[in-house]
Amino acid sequence: MQLVTRHSSAPFVLASASPRRQELLLQIGITPDLIDPADLDERPKNRELPADYAKRISHEKAAVVAARQAGAFVLAADTVVAVGRRILPKAETEQEARLCLNLLSGRRHRVMTGHVLVTPEGLVRQRLVQTAVRFKRLHASEIEAYIDSGDWQGKAGGYAIQGGAAAFIPAINGSYTNVVGLSLPEVTSLLVGNGF
């Protein structure tokens, strides 16, 4: 189903290699003409707040790719899982994933995605979307089974809501697709509002 109608002949570039973001765009009928990840240093700055971090990294990704892809629509995003002022890592090891899951267990946290669209004319549009997510209290056996699944690898906060971790989440407040990696209502609004 084509939910977003394309009016511009300018190419559409996704500044992310995330298969989840590609799948989300496909849900609204958009297939990127090019996938061009920015490959930045994504380490948070000292005392950087989660919302500021998500906005900064998504903006930097967009700027790097827009410089390489002049005349294109460039969409960049960065998703952050935060507990209070603490930014949780994109889990790369079992130990990191275990630490994240233990911290999230029985608590609410926020998932923020910075969205940046650069138009073919070079205009920059930025939006931050936040979703509140509640985890049930996890038993050690549930954490270990999830670790064994490998579903946590490379995921912000050590989990993927669209996978087995869905069983851990009794409630969210806000955009579900934002937690996956792109807020589709926000992306649609940015594209339609800027001549796509």
Indicate if 78 belongs to the active site: yes
Instruction: Please tell me the number of Cα atoms within 13 Å of 81 on its side-chain side.
Output: 26
Listed as own residue / partner, the contacts of 87-90 with beta carbons closer than 8 Å and 24 or more positions apart are: 87/44, 87/48, 87/50, 87/53, 88/156, 88/157, 88/158, 89/156, 89/158, 90/42, 90/154, 90/155, 90/156
| Cα(14)–Cα(35) distance, integer angstroms | 5
- What is the per-residue burial (b if ≥16 Cβ within 10 Å, else e) of 172-192? bebbebbbbbbbbebbeebbe
Please list the residues that pair with 74 across neighbouring strands.
Answer: 13, 118
DSSP strands (E only) in the chain: 12-14, 34-35, 73-83, 86-87, 108-118, 124-134, 171-173
Q: Which of 36, 39, 52, 78 is catalytic?
A: 78
Residues annotated as catalytic (active site), given as ranges = 78
